[in-house]
Chain A
């Protein structure tokens, strides 16, 4: 009797501990199972796989393409400007999605506001264009000659013709 009673008590306590498992405890269990699962997979495969190393396995592209030189090369700084201009329109798209969802609710004002928003961004692009940042051909170093007197137009900043052949970027 006493023995059975003791057993009963024992099972009761374990079941109560199960019930006390918190949400974080579940996450921990999940984490534990994940680690064990991956580790077990690696260990098993290292035990049963064949071991035959050779040079081709260490090349960058196993399809056979030979890489030339190092990946640390200088690339044209103007890619950076292009990336910046790209970001303008990337972000514009991001803002237009939420705008589209409330467009019906707000009505014509929303259309006007979006047009204003896009035209401000378009002015940004036009500015970069007018300042010659979109010219792929190398411009002369942009050192403006200062005007002699006020409101005097400074010497031409941008050079239309290429001063030297464009480098392949």
Chain B
């Protein structure tokens, strides 16, 4: 029993901290103070995950599975939360919606993500997903007096509720087919018997629910509208933290059924074609966008496609590639969204052409933005390249060379719209007066950019950690330390 608490300490600490934030906000009503405490909380929970990294086992009547994989995912979620909270203050001030509740809801969303990644039982899986999603619906509709924010929240809520319904229906069908809710017990039940049609339908619905959350192609239509209407920092949070969480849950589910899925040619074909469609549609739609937020939204669809290539490869290499990818993607995408949020403010600097001559006025900010754009495009010395390389290499090893080739071509297309922003920033003369932005935030962006570069130059340490982290996710019944 004490082991259970020790194992799930990061999750318990995060849940406790969110209650603390609520008390703090109720008693003092100071948004700036709640913000500082939220950042402290993210740092604390991330730190606990780092310290507890070697601990692994099943906790609380096999409801939670804690291991290196979950700790790594927790660190990504906390990093995402920390960066988003750090970068949102100016934007919220400008939009006149600087409430302390924003930080509380973001924190609760991270608790949901941690539960989602640590789920060993499909009941917990669903609770984690809902906790994360409902908090995100609130964040999307934060600007109550803005019609487009309301529209974003409404669309996200309706479609998200529909996807949750599909997922829940899938869970109930799987339960009907196997009589179990715990993932590892379902895997055993299927190995001893055989996977019935009922199970496959349920499994398909479950995966569909996840594909909606990561905005893979047949289920991606909500993405641009929601990202466009939501407060920009919240959009950054949805596109990184929530996506990382859905991918971790997807990896946990897929690794539990790995023996079943490796013998199924249909599964491989379905996931490969979804990955292909996601890459193609995301990149081609992004080509046509003038608005930077919509461009980034479609680019996030395309990146979900690259990560799905790792799922299609269905090898530990592929999964470890996805984990590395989500880490890099979190950094570079929050960086890009953060720069957009900083310049957006009231003057509506939203088009790529509005960034003309940014380099002349704010060289540091323009440089950081260039690093994010190049990294998103996957230019070699940067982190984004290593992520793509790992995922595509895993696909080639799994004899999916055509998929890796399609991915490389799609990412070559993506270079056009990323480099267009860089072109405007560096090659054009500025129009209008100088863009004002506080110098401290330029420094923060420069730090994120340095981290992206470092991940590209020295990826081996992180890759060793992701490889080690995956070991436990693959051993279904092992308990203890």
State the A residues within 8 Å of B (CB).
109, 120, 123-124, 126-127, 130-131, 144, 146-147, 150-154, 157
Selected from A109, A120, A127, the residue in CB contact (under 8 A) with B26 is A127
Q: When the two chains form their complex, are residues B30 and A130 in contact, meaning their CB atoms are under 8 A apart?
A: no
Q: Mark B14-25, 1 if CB is under 8 A from A, else 0.
A: 000001001101
Q: Looking across the interface, which residue of chain B has its beta carbon closest to that of A127?
A: B26
Pull 5 A–B residue pairs with CB atoms less than 8 Å apart, ordered by A: A109-B1, A127-B25, A131-B26, A146-B98, A147-B31
A127 with B30, Cβ < 8 A, contacts A109-B1, A146-B93 known: no
Chain A contact residues, majority secondary structure = loop
Residues of B within 8 A of A147 (CB): 30-32
Selected from A146, A153, A157, the residue in CB contact (under 8 A) with B96 is A146
CB distance from B2 to the nearest CB of A (A): 11
Selected from A127, A144, A150, A151, the residue in CB contact (under 8 A) with B22 is A127
A123 to B21, CA, bound (A): 11
Q: When the two chains form their complex, are residues A151 and B1 in contact, meaning their CB atoms are under 8 A apart?
A: no
Residues of A within 8 A of B196 (CB): none
Residues of B within 8 A of A120 (CB): 19
The answer to the question of B27 belonging to the interface, with a C-beta cut-off of 8 Å to chain A, is yes
Q: When the two chains form their complex, are residues A126 and B30 in contact, meaning their CB atoms are under 8 A apart?
A: no
A154 with B1, Cβ < 8 A, contacts A123-B22, A146-B98 known: no
Residues of A within 8 A of B93 (CB): 146
A109 to B28, CA, bound (A): 33
The answer to the question of B29 belonging to the interface, with a C-beta cut-off of 8 Å to chain A, is yes
Interface set, chain B 81-124, CB cutoff 8 A to A: 93, 96, 98-99
Residues of B within 8 A of A127 (CB): 22-23, 25-26
Selected from B26, B33, B96, the residue in CB contact (under 8 A) with A130 is B26
Residues of A within 8 A of B28 (CB): 153
Q: When the two chains form their complex, are residues A154 and B30 in contact, meaning their CB atoms are under 8 A apart?
A: yes
Q: When the two chains form their complex, are residues A151 and B19 in contact, meaning their CB atoms are under 8 A apart?
A: no
A124 to B214, CA, bound (A): 31
Smallest CB-CB A-B distances: 5 pairs: A130-B26, A127-B26, A150-B32, A127-B22, A120-B19
Q: When the two chains form their complex, are residues B19 and A153 in contact, meaning their CB atoms are under 8 A apart?
A: no
A124 to B22, CA, bound (A): 8
Interface set, chain B 32-56, CB cutoff 8 A to A: 32-33
Q: When the two chains form their complex, are residues B19 and A123 in contact, meaning their CB atoms are under 8 A apart?
A: yes
A149 to B1, CA, bound (A): 47
Residues of B within 8 A of A130 (CB): 26-27, 29
CB distance from A116 to the nearest CB of B (A): 9
A80 to B285, CA, bound (A): 41
Q: When the two chains form their complex, are residues A151 and B26 in contact, meaning their CB atoms are under 8 A apart?
A: no
CB distance from A102 to the nearest CB of B (A): 11
Q: When the two chains form their complex, are residues B26 and A157 in contact, meaning their CB atoms are under 8 A apart?
A: no
19 extra interchain contacts, Cβ-Cβ under 8 A, other than A147-B32, A151-B30, A152-B32? A109-B1, A123-B22, A123-B23, A123-B26, A127-B22, A127-B23, A127-B25, A127-B26, A130-B27, A130-B29, A144-B99, A146-B93, A146-B96, A146-B98, A147-B30, A147-B31, A151-B32, A152-B30, A153-B30
Residues of B within 8 A of A151 (CB): 30, 32-33
A130 to B29, CA, bound (A): 9
Residues of A within 8 A of B32 (CB): 147, 150-152
Q: Looking across the interface, which residue of chain B has its beta carbon closest to that of A153?
A: B30
CB distance from A10 to the nearest CB of B (A): 41
CB distance from A4 to the nearest CB of B (A): 50
Residues of A within 8 A of B99 (CB): 144
A146 to B100, CA, bound (A): 11
CB distance from A142 to the nearest CB of B (A): 10
A157 to B26, CA, bound (A): 12
A157 with B29, Cβ < 8 A, contacts A109-B1, A146-B93, A146-B98 known: yes
A123 to B98, CA, bound (A): 22
CB distance from B229 to the nearest CB of A (A): 21
A131 to B24, CA, bound (A): 12
A127 to B104, CA, bound (A): 12
Q: Looking across the interface, which residue of chain A has its beta carbon closest to that of B1?
A: A109
Residues of B within 8 A of A146 (CB): 93, 96, 98
Residues of A within 8 A of B31 (CB): 147, 154
